[in-house]
């Protein structure tokens, strides 16, 4: 059955330490699994990657929220 709706999601996190530090290792290890689960979901269209990184192409300039 074809999906009748699509969901666009912007996901970001505020880490307790820099991305390459041990404090966020659990997040880093789960990240590929989370992306894979999203890609298997019914109605999945695509996701943006990051310039200069392996994976899907970037959809544009990476932006960060100014406030939460």
In a domain, 55, yes or no: no
Kindly report, residue by residue over 2-59, the tens digit of the pLDDT.
667 766 666 667 788 988 999 999 988 998 898 899 889 888 888 888 888 888 888 8
In a domain, 26, yes or no: yes
Q: Which domain holds residue 32?
A: 17-43
In a domain, 12, yes or no: no
Place of tokens 């990476």: 62
Q: Is residue 24 exposed (0-12), middle (13-18) or buried (19+ Cβ within 10 Å)?
A: middle
In a domain, 59, yes or no: no
Instruction: Note the pLDDT of residue 29.
Output: 93
Burial 46-65 (b: 16+ CB within 10 A, else e): eeeeeeeeeeeeeeeeeeee
In a domain, 37, yes or no: yes
In a domain, 56, yes or no: no
Q: How many domains does the chain have?
A: 1
In a domain, 29, yes or no: yes
Cβ neighbours of residue 27 closer than 8 Å, sequence gap 6 or more: 13, 15
Which uninterrupted H or E stretch holds 31?
helix 25-40
pTM: 0.62
């Amino acid at each position: 059955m074809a999906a009748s709706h699509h969901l666009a999601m912007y996901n970001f996190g505020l880490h307790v330490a820099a991305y390459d530090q041990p404090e966020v290792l659990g997040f880093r290890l789960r990240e590929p699994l989370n992306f894979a689960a999203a890609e298997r979901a019914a109605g999945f269209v695509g996701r943006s990657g990051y310039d200069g990184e392996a994976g899907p192409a970037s959809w544009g300039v990476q932006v960060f929220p100014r406030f939460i």
